[in-house]
A and B are shown apart, each in its own frame.
Chain A
């Protein structure tokens, strides 16, 4: 507490000078309960926001005089802004069946899309937008749901490479061939480099031996790598961990085929499993546990195959040690608006609410590689926050206020 205190004091001289306006500058908010996601629940929380970022969060922190304070009362609850890591909101291109690992979704970003505002009002502050298509459709982009130009919206590009894997030889060879092509490129590059080095050596030798009046051999110049095929490039980036993958599978069988296709290759990936009525992914719980990666699902209860017995697969995945990432039950505005309610159904069926919240905020932020920047209420992160009166998963409790990077974009404090 002491440390926090001094921190608060330290920031104060700066603040005293400028009058704080809600929606910008510096602001302290008192909330009955803050679900920080990263540091658990903080009761009687004080959150200091400075220049669009969260400066400090703590329980009952003393607030320096001069800083405007908003007290939301004991019933108020704040959660981090929602992050949907897997969406195509506002994108209208049609994908092809051809793999195109070089394609960027950021190219089709359309900031004037009218529903971005409504998404933001529903509490969705961040989106991961992926390109359409089968096979390897391309690279996703992470955006904030506000901005009048693509540049204003984009948080990060190339956040993941989407791959659709199915149980078939052609689909599996997409991955194996991708890595083979990366190998071939590496060989080609090594050969070119060897050739270049030889040429350079030759030139150097010549220059050493040359007489004074002779002209210097310019040599081969700087090394130019051979042209990279986008597929080889993408898989090389995967290998070098510069890019992560998002692999969509449908069943436990696909999961085994995925591992057969990957073989010995090592790279980071998240799994996307569309929850159907009888998804049988629980059959490979142990294997998933060993993997421990992120798994992206809808907030939906499914049935044990060939029965009417309900299964809470998202909860099972959490128990198996996977990082659960929830997305709206469908990629429509309506589903985004009902996202918290739908997730509430899972919570009602046993999923702990802190796991549910994490699955809608910090976990998807991680998938987008933005966990350092957003996804939780903690010092240093963007001030993306949603304010409620009461339990956010309670269907009657709607988002009252949405704050995006320190600005009130919906409702009021």
Chain B
């Protein structure tokens, strides 16, 4: 309903009340009413029945006429996308939209669904960005479900930067904003946290830490071997007891079982090599945060199936005393990727800072990625590094990171190439809800304001058909009226 209200300003084309769009649909209705009085009565009775509560309605969101970068390497030009209750149900061409292409003859207040249509003509659509780690984007701390601030201005800024999901502490959360609608909908608190435990933190910093780690992994591996043997033996001897779990570290066990990815913090070549060998020895895939000298040992890391979290613009020379290669390299991401290391990229500052040197905070994921591109990384891998790879690292790639049928409808609509520095996020959608519209927020609306004409091309309707369609006119009038009132209120 919010979209209806803002129709003109948002440049959204609402086609809900397009009367008699399908003449075929109108004709049988007329016949039914004319022929069968009883049926007419029945319909009247139905009208008197109670309106369907807003929460019980199916929520559709449709996006039309966009160049969709699905994040899987595919580009669909001039395509559409439909989501139902927050999940993508269709991507492609000639998508049928309820309320427009079918069920168009049901009055709006009698529908058991609501639909928002966003015409993104001429714009690009990408999966919502995934920041592998950030701070302060949700206004929450610790228990995210119960402390999130759905009105946080940092959340709006995060969405403006294209981020729809982020790692915060150990958890992965969505930037679920609440925008008041008419009638109001309950906020989906349960949808805030994607995962409460996204990684197991491992330390490779000191010799004692390494020793402890080895002990933990040895014990966990031993337990797993015992457990597997027991699984075989118990078939023969049912009395056999399950092996004892004492002294087994829970997270380590999860890592060995492949349920959780371990995360190390390491930059130096020797540490990286050590981690790679350790991982190969025990058979798990390490995620290495930092990985500054990774390019010098890319092959080893690749063989160990490592993943890396990089800050692409990192600049640090190697120690002068070292004769080997070392320090940072702008080619780090390129060389690692070439060796099979999946790379996620994140700026050096994890929070939002609106002052100081521009372009280094979490709002500039795409700018950070540009440094990797300068070092030779392909644009496809660059996009991966801020979408599907971080999603994979956090174990949430089954829900976010790419635009595919069945995944969450988290996407951003941009006015140009996502990785271009001039590009703005025009809309952000989380779980099929439009939660950010550049023109509605105070932050960037004034910079290159959206030319309404190019965004919402006037629908070339048949003048004859459209004439006398009271409903549509009324609706337009209403929408603008509401919007104006709202504005007035705000000014007072």
Contacts and interface: CB of A to CB of B under 8 A. Distances in A.
Contact of A350 (B140, B145, B147, B492): B492
Contacts of B180: 283-287
B152 A253 contact: yes
B184 interface: yes
A213 interface: no
A286 B182 contact: yes
Interface in B466-482: none
Interface stretch (A28-36, A234-242, A306-314): A306-314
A253 B490 contact: no
Given A284-B180, A287-B184, A307-B442, A253 B146 contact: no
A167 B182 contact: no
Given A252-B151, A285-B180, A315-B492, A172 B187 contact: no
Contacts of A309: 491
Contacts, number: 66
Interface string A124-162: 000000000000000000000000000000000000000
B445 to A, nearest CB: 13
Interface stretch (A43-51, A114-122, A255-263): A255-263
Given A259-B186, A315-B492, A167 B181 contact: no
Nearest to A171: B146
Given A251-B151, A256-B178, A305-B153, A311 B146 contact: no
A168 interface: yes
Given A284-B180, A285-B180, A287-B180, A167 B492 contact: no
B143 interface: yes
Interface of B: prevailing SS:
loop
B147 A286 contact: no
A265 interface: no
A260 B187 contact: yes
B189 interface: yes
B153 A286 contact: no
Interface string A263-289: 000000000000000001011111100
Contacts of A259: 186-187
B442 A306 contact: yes
Interface in B134-190: 139-140, 142-143, 145-153, 178, 180-184, 186-187, 189
Interface residues of A, number: 30
A253 B189 contact: no
A287 B187 CA distance: 11
Contacts of A251: 149, 151
A256 B152 CA distance: 13
B184 A290 contact: yes
Contact of A286 (B142, B149, B184): B184
Interface in A316-355: 316, 319, 350
Interface in B444-492: 489-492
B151 A280 contact: yes
B479 to A, nearest CB: 16
A260 B189 contact: yes
B184 to A, nearest CB: 5
Contacts of B181: 286
Given A169-B146, A172-B146, A256-B187, A311 B492 contact: yes
A257 B184 contact: no
A373 interface: no
Contacts of B153: 305-306
B147 A169 contact: yes
A345 to B, nearest CB: 15
Interface string B198-240: 0000000000000000000000000000000000000000000
Contacts of B148: 167, 253
A304 interface: yes
A319 B187 contact: no
A169 B145 contact: yes
Contacts of B178: 252, 256
Most B C-beta atoms less than 10 A away, residue of A251, A252, A287, A290: A287
Nearest to B189: A260
Contact of A283 (B145, B151, B183, B491): B151
A169 B143 contact: yes
A280 B145 CA distance: 20
Query: Top 4 closest A-B pairs, CB basis?
Result: A169-B146, A253-B149, A169-B143, A252-B151
Given A256-B189, A319-B489, 18 more contacts: A167-B148, A167-B149, A169-B142, A169-B146, A169-B147, A251-B151, A253-B150, A253-B151, A256-B178, A256-B187, A257-B189, A259-B187, A260-B146, A285-B489, A286-B180, A287-B180, A290-B183, A306-B442
Interface of B: 139-140, 142-143, 145-153, 178, 180-184, 186-187, 189, 442, 489-492
Interface of A: 167-169, 172, 251-253, 256-257, 259-260, 280, 282-287, 290, 304-307, 309, 311-312, 315-316, 319, 350
22 contacts: A167-B140, A169-B146, A172-B146, A251-B149, A252-B151, A253-B149, A253-B151, A256-B187, A256-B189, A257-B146, A259-B187, A260-B146, A280-B151, A282-B489, A282-B490, A286-B183, A286-B184, A287-B180, A287-B184, A290-B184, A306-B442, A311-B492
